[in-house]
């Protein structure tokens, strides 16, 4: 006598395909985010470094560019406060990174006394620093372009929206 056939299994339901977030979305985000942070994030950072600067120095330049006055200058204390949320870094390490960036052969920034506070310094990009920042951004853009080249317009638009939302939400969590 023949054995009864097993009932075929139904395909697993995919909540994402049906426009619903899976119940374990946070874990799935983590499973994707953490490797991307290191695989793509470190690649972007290396492209920005261009073999010339350390990661703290790149972060300082990026902060000046993105949060500084006219993208050219920023108070040292504000740099320290922002960097300390990104890295485990001491004030002494920030001072060292800034001094190296202010000296030859780099000459990317100047450090001048803040007229409002004799103890505070203002960090400003030099013309050489502005040119370096433009090259740095071009190198980072070229790296990211390689990542997005195989993507559709919809994927790129969705990705930009996703990153903007994450940034907004994380900023509100501070």
Which tokens is 171 given? 């900023």
Whole-model pTM: value is 0.80
Q: Check whether 15 has a pLDDT greater than 80.
A: no
φ, ψ of residue 9 in degrees (nearest 5): -75, 140
pLDDT of residue 37: 87
How many angstroms separate the CA atoms of 20 and 53, rounded? Answer: 44
How many angstroms separate the CA atoms of 55 and 131, rounded? Answer: 18
Helices (H), 87-152: 91-102, 127-148
User: In 61-108, where do the E strands start and end?
Assistant: 73-75
Q: Check whether 114 has a pLDDT greater than 70.
A: yes
Q: Give the pLDDT confidence of 20-50 residue by residue, as tens digits.
A: 888 899 999 899 998 998 889 999 999 999 9
SS (H, E, C) 5-39: CCCCCCCCCCCCCCCCCCCCHHHHHHHHHHHHHHH
Q: Give the pLDDT confidence of 59-97 residue by residue, as tens digits.
A: 999 999 999 999 999 999 999 999 988 888 998 999 999
| Domains parsed from the chain with CATH numbers | 53-148 (1.10.10.10)
């Amino acid at each position: 006598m023949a054995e009864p056939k097993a009932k075929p299994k139904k395909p697993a339901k995919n909540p994402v395909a049906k426009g619903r977030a899976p119940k374990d979305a946070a874990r799935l985000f983590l499973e994707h985010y953490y490797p991307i942070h290191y695989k793509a994030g470190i690649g972007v950072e290396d492209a920005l470094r261009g073999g010339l600067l350390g990661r703290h120095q790149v972060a300082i330049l990026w902060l000046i560019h993105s949060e500084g006055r006219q993208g050219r200058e920023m108070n040292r204390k504000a740099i320290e406060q922002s960097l300390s949320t990104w890295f485990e870094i001491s004030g002494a390490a920030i001072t060292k990174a800034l001094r190296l960036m202010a000296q030859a052969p780099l000459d990317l920034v100047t450090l001048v006394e803040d007229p409002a506070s004799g103890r505070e310094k203002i960090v400003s990009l030099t013309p050489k620093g502005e040119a370096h920042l433009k090259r740095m951004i071009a190198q980072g853009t070229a790296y990211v372009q390689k990542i997005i080249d195989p993507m559709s317009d919809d994927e790129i638009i969705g990705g930009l929206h996703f990153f903007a939302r994450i940034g907004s939400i994380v900023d509100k969590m501070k």
